[in-house]
């Protein structure tokens, strides 16, 4: 132990030096590998979440990839509490002053709230395009065409579009017409915005499910990130429809008696929704690939992310072993369903999990939420463990079968 004040003074100097280290050019950072992608500047930091929280790494990655254009609708829950620990916030901005726009809505309507973002942004973009065409003589037809036809599918294209928008503002500087003023208000909407709807399983599987289903069926370009802790974490650990069979939680003191709701399978039934199930502790490259594919897909996407939690009763200093064990046992299956693949005549489903390496029981006995029942009611625990193993094997067979089917080319 050392006196704090001298250490604090020295660390202030170190911290100021650290902040002056320039960020790398984002357009030069390869995104196909975690080792290189993680060099990107995070725009989410110092959240105040539980030490070892399994939710925050997913949010951090989203802000690294899309944070300077992200618009986030956050359902009430853990992620809204550490997301707005007022008067501070973990969401940050980069050197250009850009960062995520964030707001919180209730459990029951967060999906609709996020859809409202998308509809409003699309309308503002349409207004900007209409005004561009009306003012083409004042702006110049070449710049107007470049703005309207910009390829913004990658980081470099978005950067170039922002430069065009700044050029547009310079061209119109000093022009005081009403139509020009209206265009300047909405000009920034000509650059791509990434809408993210974020919340936990209590929101996505339970209280907000009706709204989530409505948004997935809308066909609009929104990205849903479900931080699945398999329990109502923020309100004290109550059972949700994401809670697996045999898990002890509030309202299921004798273990959850039925299997977990399969939200991914429900979403895939639309055949027009990008769906991914990920666990960064088991396969971080698959997580990165899923997030990139989801954001690139021009339609609704949903990523269901395994989020270990202190409520599981695990060693939070080494929680990635639990993520890996969940996947290795087949309890948690990794896959990606990309409707764009069907346009090329390929099977849209990619199964990223391999044949199980361990049993579901080995995974379950690593976590107190399952071990508690084994001690209090061994016979009932054995019954649930047996059922969980059978369920896991059947689900994997189902996904193997679906992923092995030949693709059929579609025009939708």
One DSSP character per residue, 93-142 reads --TTS---EEEEE-GGGHHHHHHHHHHHHHHHHHHHHHHHHHTHHHH-HH
Q: Is residue 198 part of a domain?
A: yes
Residue 166 pLDDT greater than 70, yes or no: yes
Domain stop point among 190, 223, 245: 190
Domain stop point among 190, 224, 246: 190
Residue 85 pLDDT greater than 90, yes or no: no
* Residues 92 and 131 both lie in one domain: no
* Residues 59 and 127 both lie in one domain: no
* Residues 155 and 211 both lie in one domain: no
Rounded CA-CA distance 314/320 in Å is 10
Percent of the chain with pLDDT over 90: 90
Number of domains observed in the structure of the chain? 2
Q: Greater confidence, 121 or 407? A: 121
Rounded CA-CA distance 407/349 in Å is 9
Q: What pLDDT, on a 0 to 100 scale, did the predictor assign at position 75?
A: 97
Q: Is residue 410 part of a domain?
A: no
End-to-end CA distance of the chain: 65
Rounded CA-CA distance 328/307 in Å is 16
* Residues 206 and 285 both lie in one domain: yes
> What pLDDT digit, counting tens, does each position of 98-142 carry?
999 999 998 899 999 999 999 999 999 999 999 999 999 999 999
* Residues 137 and 181 both lie in one domain: yes
* Residues 70 and 155 both lie in one domain: no
Band of residue 174 on the pLDDT scale cut at 50, 70, 90: confident
Nearest to 309 by CA among 245, 230, 248, 255: 230
Percent of the chain with pLDDT over 70: 99
Q: What pLDDT, on a 0 to 100 scale, did the predictor assign at position 273?
A: 98
> What pLDDT digit, counting tens, does each position of 364-373 carry?
999 999 999 9
Domain stop point among 147, 174, 190: 190
Q: Which domain holds residue 139?
A: 123-190
Nearest to 157 by CA among 280, 69, 229, 40: 69
Q: Is residue 22 part of a domain?
A: no
* Residues 317 and 186 both lie in one domain: no
Residue 60 pLDDT greater than 90, yes or no: yes
State mean pLDDT over 304-330. Answer: 96
> What pLDDT digit, counting tens, does each position of 213-260 carry?
999 999 999 999 999 999 999 888 899 999 999 999 999 999 999 999
């Amino acid at each position: 132990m050392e006196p704090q004040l001298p250490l604090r003074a020295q660390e202030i100097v170190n911290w100021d030096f650290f902040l002056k280290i320039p960020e790398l050019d984002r357009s030069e950072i390869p995104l196909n590998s975690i080792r290189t992608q993680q060099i990107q500047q995070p725009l989410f930091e110092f959240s105040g979440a539980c030490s070892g929280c399994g939710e925050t790494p997913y949010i951090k990655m989203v802000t690294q990839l899309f944070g300077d254009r992200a618009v986030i609708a956050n359902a009430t829950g853990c992620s809204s509490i550490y997301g707005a620990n007022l008067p501070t916030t973990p969401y940050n901005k980069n050197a250009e002053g850009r960062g995520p726009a964030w707001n919180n809505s209730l459990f029951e309507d967060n999906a609709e709230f996020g859809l409202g973002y998308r509809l409003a942004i699309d309308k503002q973009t349409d207004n900007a395009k209409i005004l561009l065409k009306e003012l083409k003589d004042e702006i110049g037809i070449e710049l107007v065409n470049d703005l309207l036809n910009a390829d913004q599918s990658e980081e470099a294209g978005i950067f170039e579009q922002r430069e065009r928008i700044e050029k547009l503002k310079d061209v119109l500087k000093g022009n005081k017409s009403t139509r020009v003023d209206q265009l300047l208000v909405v000009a920034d909407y000509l650059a791509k915005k990434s809408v993210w709807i974020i919340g936990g399983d209590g929101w996505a599987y339970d209280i907000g499910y009706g709204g989530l289903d409505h948004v997935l069926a809308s066909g609009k370009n929104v990205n849903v990130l479900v931080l699945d802790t398999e329990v109502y974490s923020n309100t004290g650990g109550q059972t949700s429809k994401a809670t697996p069979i045999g898990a002890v939680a509030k309202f299921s003191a004798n273990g959850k008696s039925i299997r977990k709701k399969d939200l991914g399978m429900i979403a895939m039934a639309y055949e027009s929704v990008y769906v991914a199930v990920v666990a960064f502790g088991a396969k971080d490259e698959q997580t990165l690939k899923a997030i990139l594919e989801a954001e690139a897909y021009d339609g609704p996407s949903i990523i269901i992310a395994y989020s270990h939690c202190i409520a599981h009763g695990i060693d939070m200093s080494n929680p990635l072993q639990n993520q890996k064990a969940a996947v290795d046992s087949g309890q948690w299956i990794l896959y990606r369903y990309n409707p764009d693949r069907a346009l090329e005549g390929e099977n849209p489903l990619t199964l990223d999990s391999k044949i199980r390496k361990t049993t579901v029981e080995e995974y379950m006995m690593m976590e107190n939420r399952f071990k508690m029942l084994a001690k209090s009611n061994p016979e009932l625990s054995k019954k649930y463990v047996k059922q969980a193993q059978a369920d896991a094997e059947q689900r994997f067979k189902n996904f193997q079968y679906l992923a092995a089917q030949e693709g059929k080319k579609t025009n939708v």
